[in-house]
Amino acid sequence: MIAKVFDHAEARAPGHVRPWVVLVDGARHQLDLITAEAARRGIGVHIVIDFVHVLERLWAAAWSLHPPAAPAAEDWVAGHALALLAGRTGHVITALSGQAATTAAHRRDGIDACIRYLTNNLKHLRYDQALEAGWPIATGVIEGACRHLIADRFDLAGARWGLAGAEAVLQLRALIANGHLDEYWHFHRARQHERVHQNDYQDGYSLTA
């Protein structure tokens, strides 16, 4: 799957003029596959971890330090989230490590996991650089498009799809969603006329003339 994504990216940008930005959730095997594929092709990529996934880790850490539903937890998460966006991930790790050291062992799972996550992915959390460059830092737009374009039509109880039929329906849904259906339909009719009439009867037209 990773190789196919790179294939599509190279087809869209064969000259590699623009930076290649890869958004991921931070899973180690995913990062390893992307890094290996980029190296195999000799392509430089900028890997950015989806900020929403990082927020989920911060919230888990917050509940290690605060009682359930405590309003202070929201302020705690917001403060550290802003620090991450400003590129101060190292400061966040230091702050969390200090708080973890004074937290009871049976409550530390969430904050310890967050510290490991931030530490292991430090080089992929440069949100300050990503925002300055105008790069996306979350996959919500992509996931929303997948749900609207694919899941809403295909993920139906009892539905059975073959690859060819699903691909055809998906292409039509994409045309409708992008507002290009009328334009495509004119193109399709012109090409169909060419295939059925002009190509098949070209010799007859020539003789008649």
16-43 pLDDT, tens digit per residue, is 888 999 999 888 999 999 999 999 999 9
Which pLDDT belongs to residue 206?
A: 55
What would the mean pLDDT of 43-64 be, rounded to a whole number? Answer: 95
What would the mean pLDDT of 44-53 be, rounded to a whole number? Answer: 94
What would the mean pLDDT of 76-95 be, rounded to a whole number? Answer: 97
155-185 pLDDT, tens digit per residue, is 888 888 888 888 888 888 888 888 888 898 8
Reply yes or no on whether the pLDDT at 199 is more than 70.
Answer: no
Burial tier of 134 (Cβ tally within 10 Å: 0-12, 13-18, 19+)? exposed
Residue in 53, 44, 42, 63 with CA at minimum distance from that of residue 109: 63
Which pLDDT belongs to residue 208?
A: 54
Reply yes or no on whether the pLDDT at 205 is more than 70.
Answer: no
Band of pLDDT at residue 202, cut at 50, 70 and 90? low
Question: Can you give the pTM of this predicted structure?
Answer: 0.71
DSSP letter for each residue of 70-130: -HHHHHHHHHHHHHHHTT-HHHHHHHHHHHHHTS-GGG-HHHHHHHHHHHHTGGG--HHHH
96-134 pLDDT, tens digit per residue, is 999 999 999 999 999 999 999 999 999 999 999 999 999
